[in-house]
Amino acid sequence: MSSQQRQRLDTDAGHAPQRRDVALHRRARHGLEQLRVLAAGLGTSLLALITVYAVLLTSVLSLIGVGLLLARPVASLVRHVADLERNRLERWGVRIPRPYAPTVTGEDENPWGVARALLRQSSTRRDLAWLFTHASFGFCVGILGIALPLMAVRDLSLPAWWYLAPAGEASNSLGIPANSWAAVLFFALTSPIWAVLFTLVAPPLSRAQAWAGRRFLPPDPHVDLSQRVAQLTATRAAALDAHVTELRRIERALHDGSQNRLVAVAVLTGAAGRALDRDPTQARDAIERAQQASEEALKELRSVVRSIMPPVLENQGLEGAIYGLTASCPLPCHVDVSPLPRLAMAVEACAYFALAEMLTNVAKHSGATQVRVTVSVKDDRLCVRVADDGQGAADIGAGKGLAGMRDRVAALDGHLRISSPVGGPTVVDVELPCG
């Protein structure tokens, strides 16, 4: 064996313990990650179990008509719990779109009509199937996954509390009595077996716990197309309304601002022409006023043009425009913008105006001391999040700003979500397709 080969073997032997330490650290970190997944799933299964009782109570009360009045709030509760599970799965890499059709309105506003319309929706039936499955099977899987590491901790800590337990009542996690120090130490030394067993069964347990969500929470492929058509019909109507509203705004801005300035320019230049020979001083004054009116008209025209398509988007892109908006915000802004590709101009403009509206609302109404802006691209969708530490209680129907923003976002097949409990914080999420 050559000296070079011996040196390589010695080097490999020296690195072997380090590689083992890295592998153990990676395995332990993966085990903790799986424990968090199972614990979060156990939490949503507990919420699902509570919601199951609410659904059953509503069903019983519906026999006497009272439960029909609770159909809409209970359906909202079911959807909220289902959304929590979707968010949990998305946090671990499984993105599930919300399948819900537009809100029931019109002829179905009576309690019986609301309940019937909700039950006709495939998303409601699939949510209920997930609810009962996750509240039973998911709960049992979560208990099993959490029990193994707890058993390891219990057996490992047995020497610390064994002597405090009444005689003959101390035992290990399997119920085997610990009647002597030898048995106690043996149980403590064998406690890592539970941790090793957990690392082996945690991945399949996590997949089993997520099975119901992956199976029932996505849109039904058989009815997804019809719901998609209904959604696109609603968003098309919203787009037309938003377009008409924007045209009226531009017309008012031109009529009330620039047009009046230009009429004043015409009147003043005519007066200057008539007074030029008779009173040059008066003519000069009229010309100066006409010049001032024309400059004001140009400023207002530029303002209207910027409100249609801000030049900063074309010059600096959406990323630069975002930094410009946050820099002009009167509140301290923490900005986190991932590298953004150039998107469709309509998408960039919608995101720009949505962010401007959100920052304006925060500054005027929230009572916040700071705001955080996060912009990123995930799964070919532009995600804009604005979070503040204000008083909360923001309502999308309380004013025209948020409602108009929702319509503009929906017109591009996007989504707007608001979480604003009383007392704060308020989080507004806007998602837009990148294409």
pLDDT tens over the chain, length 435 residues: 555 555 554 544 444 555 555 565 676 677 778 888 888 899 999 999 999 999 999 888 888 877 788 888 898 899 999 999 998 888 877 778 777 755 444 444 677 777 787 878 888 889 999 999 999 999 999 998 888 888 888 878 777 766 666 666 677 677 777 777 777 788 778 878 888 888 888 889 999 999 999 989 887 766 555 666 666 666 666 666 666 666 666 666 666 666 666 666 677 677 777 777 777 777 777 777 777 777 776 776 666 666 566 677 777 788 888 888 888 888 888 888 888 888 888 888 888 888 888 888 888 877 888 889 998 888 788 899 998 888 877 766 555 667 777 777 877 778 888 887 777 788 888 888 876
The total number of structural domains in the chain stands at 3
**CA separation for the pair 305, 301 (Å, rounded):** 6
Backbone angles phi, psi at 371, to 5 degrees: -140, 145
Same domain, 424 and 281: no
Which CATH number covers residue 359? 3.30.565.10
**CA separation for the pair 374, 355 (Å, rounded):** 10
Same domain, 116 and 28: yes
Same domain, 366 and 427: yes
> What pLDDT score was predicted for residue 136?
94
**End residue of a domain, out of 158, 182, 216:** 216
- Given a contact cutoff of 8 angstroms between Cβ atoms, the answer to whether 320 and 337 are in contact is no
Backbone angles phi, psi at 262, to 5 degrees: -70, -35
**End residue of a domain, out of 198, 216, 234:** 216
Same domain, 112 and 33: yes
**CA separation for the pair 250, 85 (Å, rounded):** 44
Q: Which H or E element spans position 405?
A: helix 400-411
Same domain, 26 and 113: yes
Q: Any idea which residue has 């991945």 for tokens?
A: 203
**CA separation for the pair 358, 368 (Å, rounded):** 13
> What pLDDT score was predicted for residue 398?
56
Side-chain-side CA neighbours of 361 within 13 Å: the count stands at 29
> What pLDDT score was predicted for residue 402?
73
> What pLDDT score was predicted for residue 9?
45
> What pLDDT score was predicted for residue 266?
73
Same domain, 7 and 135: yes
Same domain, 325 and 299: no
Same domain, 240 and 373: no
Residues in contact with 235: Cβ distance below 8 Å, sequence separation at least 6, in sequence order? 410, 411, 413
Strands 371-378, 333-337: parallel, antiparallel or unpaired by DSSP? parallel
> What pLDDT score was predicted for residue 239?
61
Q: Looking at the chain, how many residues does it have?
A: 435
> What pLDDT score was predicted for residue 107?
42
Same domain, 203 and 78: yes
**End residue of a domain, out of 308, 343, 367:** 308
Same domain, 148 and 62: yes
Same domain, 104 and 32: yes
**CA separation for the pair 21, 15 (Å, rounded):** 10
- Given a contact cutoff of 8 angstroms between Cβ atoms, the answer to whether 326 and 333 are in contact is yes
Range of the domain at 326: 316-433
Same domain, 154 and 299: no
